[in-house]
Amino acid sequence: MIGLVLAAGLLGLLIGSFLNVVIHRVPRDESIVRPRSRCPQCGMELQARDNVPVVSWLVLRGRCRGCGTRISVRYPLVELGTALLFGAVAAWCGLAWQLPAYLYLAAIGVALSAIDLDVRRLPDKIVLPSYAVALGLLLLPAVIEGEWNAYLRAALTGLALFAFYFLLAVIYPAGMGFGDVKLAGVLGIYLGFYSWGLAIIATFLAFLIGSLVGLVVMVRSRQGRKTKVPFGPFMMLGTFLALFFGQPVIDWYVSSLGL
């Protein structure tokens, strides 16, 4: 298990480096393949030695090799955060056929959260293909291990969570964007593969944490209720908290009912 977690963490570092490109370019409708990464100030193309996750930033002391312009600390934080999340997913999931699906969820979770914080939207270029990727990767345990009930539950939970968020967006459009609605369907697929109850817990946690953080931001901001807080990061946080810790809560609740 330790080897799996370390391997997943190392993979997360590499993926995190790529996610920095995704986070910067996708909202700008730029290609994530070309051109190669370069300094936005002097235009110097980054060499392989300057693209080693975290290490390069530390060696360069957070500055461009060519012009000395500061490199945001967010770059190594995204890489480290992705590595830690990949390791946590591997520890939770184990060496199972569904592991690739949940590692993909971790990757888009980091990217979408950062983008939503930056530009207050969740790009369709990431969210919409994730429906096909999620259902495609979860076919592995369905076909190989016969988890067809879990697969069907995943699809239905995705549909249900999409419908719930869609209703909220119609009722209160100022507080819920359709990017959140589309993301909800993807998250519902992942949560529903394990349990309907996890979707309920994840949704509750997302709104609870989002409300608390929003209240703090509103109090500290001069704009009051006009302050907008992106909801995507809270949806992601609620989802991973539910996946990692939600099942014991469900088991306790069921046992307390004597079921």
Same structural domain, 176 and 204: yes
Is the bond leading into 230 cis (omega within 30 degrees of zero)?
Answer: no
pLDDT of the residue at 32 = 83
The contacts of residue 201 (CB under 8 Å, 6+ apart) are 238, 241, 242, 246, 249, 250
Please give the full DSSP string across 102-156, using - where no structure is assigned.
HHHHHHHHHHHHHHHHHHS---HHHHHHHHHHHHHHTHHHHHHH--HHHHHHHHH
Choosing from 95, 125, 155, the residue where a domain stops is 95
Domain count, the chain: 2
Per-residue pLDDT of the chain (259 residues; tens, 9 = 90+): 888 999 999 999 999 999 999 998 999 888 887 777 766 666 666 666 667 778 777 777 767 676 767 877 888 999 999 999 999 999 999 999 999 999 999 999 999 999 999 989 999 999 999 999 999 999 999 999 999 999 999 999 999 999 999 999 998 877 788 899 999 999 999 999 999 999 999 999 999 999 888 888 877 776 555 567 889 999 999 999 999 998 887 777 667 665 5
Choosing from 67, 95, 123, the residue where a domain stops is 95
pLDDT of the residue at 41 = 62
Give CA–CA dist 44/47, Å, rounded: 9
Same structural domain, 83 and 137: no
- The count of other CB atoms within 10 Å of the CB of residue 3 is 9
Helix (H), strand (E), coil (C) string for 61-82: CCECCCCCCECCCHHHHHHHHH
Same structural domain, 207 and 102: yes
Same structural domain, 56 and 157: no
pLDDT of the residue at 138 = 97
Give CA–CA dist 184/163, Å, rounded: 9
Same structural domain, 152 and 257: yes
Same structural domain, 75 and 120: no
Choosing from 95, 126, 159, the residue where a domain stops is 95
Give CA–CA dist 59/70, Å, rounded: 13
Same structural domain, 87 and 113: no
Same structural domain, 125 and 188: yes
Same structural domain, 168 and 102: yes
pLDDT of the residue at 222 = 65
Same structural domain, 258 and 204: yes
Same structural domain, 91 and 106: no
Show the domain range for 49: 1-95
Same structural domain, 147 and 226: yes
